[in-house]
Amino acid sequence: MEVIYAAFLALMSPDVLLVILLSSIFGLFVGAIPGLTATMAVALLVPVTFFMPPLPAIAAIVSVSAMAIFAGDIPSALLRIPGTPSSAAYTDAAYRLTMRGKGELVLGACVVTSAVGGLVGAIFLMFFAPAVARFALNISSYEYFWLVCLGLTSAAFIAPGSTLKGMISLLLGLLVAMIGLFPVTGQPRFAFGSTALYGGVGLVATLIGMFAIAEILRFALSRDPLPPMATTKIGNIFKGLMPELWRSRRNLASGIVVGTVTGPLPGAGADIAAWISYALARKTTRNREEFDKGSLEGIVAAGGANNASVSTSYVPATVLGIPGDSMTAIVIGVLFMKGLTPGPQIFENQPTLIYGIFLSFILANLLMIPLGYTAIKLSRYLLDVPRSYLMPVILLFCVVGAFAMDNTLVAIVTMLVFGVVGWFMEENGFPIAPALLGIVLGRMLEETFLTSMIKAQGDFLQLFSRPIAGTIGVITILIWLSPLIMMVVKRVRRRGAVA
């Protein structure tokens, strides 16, 4: 309790509060504008957080991610365009209800369920993460190696679209992570004689390239005009909301459970939590016809789920240093930049910081109600901001942001290259998130493997010698083999059917 009190005091200092407030407003702004994603908001914020102490830096990222995920609901309901991918599951339903004159109710439900979902997730994170950390203190490089493998594998397999393309994206990310000095002997590897690449490819420049420059390029080439807003007048969003929410309380509860459980799973982010809980709400609804026409049940379930998963996705990130999605990958990168190694030891070495991060989730989700309300009220102006004016301004922020990390033009070259690569990958159905996770975790994968091999004197089977390592190892290998197994099962069934 003393630690929590100290963390609370640290969080309540005026400069940290100001950072949280400003980054929340930034998150709401970016999340509400279609085409600018929550990950882009975080990527643009990282260069600024570099100049802050660790607590406000991570609290800023926490606030931005929570607010942006909620704010994505605003254009969903008003324009039928999800502001962030995690709102996509219920965009149709939200827009249909808005067209039927229930825009206020939908937006009210979105802000309240997001805040409630985020809060429950944050409380789960506070109580569950230390327990996992205590358990994680006993795990060795063998378990770490398999955990990283499992995380990367899940990221590639769960990513939207083709599994094969997810795997290729992951492999390309891992290949990029190999650039730099080889950790054991310190010899340069794939640096092409450039000393600038000895430290590896800059993570922040890569991030800004893949998530911001790629988006600017997409905007530059896009010929689709924005649709007109469904309603321009938004009254009291809380009017009549509570009875409606009470009616959908089971959906909200199941959504929050789905989000809370999905968050820590490697590879499954807020988007997947929203889709699963929306599908679950559809399956359990009493009136499927009404549900498909657009009902609050699905919106309530998925709205709570995506914010709950944002909170709990910090469990593996802080406890094991293994990110589950692109946003927590960035958080891990920021912790490393601050000289902090995420892992179970962080709970012993930096308890105030870690509980400060957890408390910042609670604060951000509490702030979501008043700030979200204001954002909804201002949505007419927010959604009217012309992207043709916004994108060039963001472009300059990208340039300076990438440069600020290493003070070298190589970072801007990296940003440009990865911007084009990111745009090309998305155009061709290669998901970006596995590549990013590969870049962040590639080094850890190699280092845990080499440490294990040194300990085991090169005996590969030793990786299965401990019960947990062996179990995770077998699960990971089964996931790798699953496409093959599925193919064999299909063939056998087909033969059975023919016979």
Partner 1 sequence: MKVSDIIMGPIIAGIGILAIVAASMQPKPFFGTGYGGGFFPSIIGYALVVAGGLLLVNGWRQRDVQPLVVMGSWVRSPTHMANAAVVLGVLVFYILFSNFLGFVIAGFVVVFATLLQFTRSPVRSLILAGVTTLVVKFAFQDMLLVPLPWGLLEPYAGVLSWR
**Residues in touch with partner 1 (CB under 8 A):** 48, 51, 164-165, 167-168, 171-172, 174-175, 178, 182, 184-185, 187, 189-190, 213, 216-217, 220-223, 386, 388-389, 391-393, 395-397, 399-400, 403-404, 407, 409, 412-413, 415-416, 419-420, 424, 427-428, 445-446, 449-450, 453-454, 457-458
Dihedral pair phi/psi, residue 448, rounded to 5°: -65, -35
Tell me if 262 sits within 8 A of 276, measured CB to CB: yes
Q: What is the closest distance, in whole angstroms, from the C-beta atom of residue 497 to partner 1 in the complex?
A: 21
Amino acid at 67: M
| Smallest separation (angstroms) from partner 1 to the CB of 393 | 5
Provide the residue count of the chain: 499
- Longest Cα pair distance anywhere in the chain, in angstroms? 75
Shortest distance, position 279 Cβ to partner 1, whole Å: 27
Q: Are 22 and 374 in contact (CB under 8 A)?
A: no
CB of 88 to partner 1, least distance (A): 21
- Least distance CB 68 / partner 1 (angstroms): 21
How far apart CA 36 and CA 30 sit, in angstroms, is: 6
User: Is 216 or 234 the residue whose CB approaches partner 1 more closely?
Assistant: 216
Structure token digits, residue 267: 């590879």
Contact between residue 72 and residue 87 where contact means Cβ atoms under 8 Å apart: yes
Rounded to an integer, what is the distance from CA 286 to the centroid of its chain?
Answer: 32
Q: Which residues contact 125 (CB under 8 A, 6 or more apart)?
A: 311, 312, 314, 315, 358, 361
Q: Which is nearer to partner 1, 396 or 461 (CB)?
A: 396
Instruction: Please report how close the Cβ of residue 423 comes to partner 1 at its closest, in angstroms.
Output: 9
Least distance in Å: CB of 243 to partner 1?
A: 46
Residue 29 or 95: the one with the smaller Cβ distance to partner 1 is 29
**Which residue in 125, 121, 122, 78 sits closest to 102, CA to CA?**
78
Angle at alpha carbon of residue 331, lines to 216 and 119, rounded to 5°: 100
Closest CA to 207 of 340, 392, 333, 54: 333
Q: Tell me whether residue 181 or residue 366 sits nearer to partner 1 (CB atom).
A: 181
SS3 of 73-138: HHHHHHHCCCCCHHHHHHHHHHHHHHHHHHHHHHHHHHHHHHHHHHHHHHHHHHHHHHHHHHHHCC
Q: Between 118 and 173, whose beta carbon lies closer to partner 1? A: 173
Q: Which of 375, 359, 419, 425 is nearest to 394 (CA)?
A: 419
- Nearest approach in angstroms of CB 219 to partner 1 is 8
Q: Which is nearer to partner 1, 159 or 299 (CB)?
A: 159
Smallest gap from residue 115 Cβ to partner 1 (A)? 30
Cα 478 from Cα 489, distance rounded (Å): 14
**Least distance from partner 1 to the Cβ atom of residue 19, Å:** 13
Q: Return d(Cα 117, Cα 478) in angstroms, integer.
A: 33
Q: Which is nearer to partner 1, 80 or 165 (CB)?
A: 165
The rounded distance, in Å, linking the Cα atoms of 437 and 330 is: 9
Q: Is 345 helix (H, G, I), strand (E, B) or coil?
A: coil
In the complex with partner 1, the residue whose CB is nearer, 15 or 427, is 427
- Residue whose CB is less far from partner 1, 187 or 195: 187
Q: Closer to partner 1 at the Cβ: 104 or 446?
A: 446
**Interatomic CA distance for residues 337 and 269, integer angstroms:** 23
Nearest to 46 by CA among 403, 497, 452, 453: 403
What's the closest the beta carbon of residue 14 comes to partner 1, in angstroms? 17
Nearer to partner 1 (CB atom), residue 213 or residue 317: 213
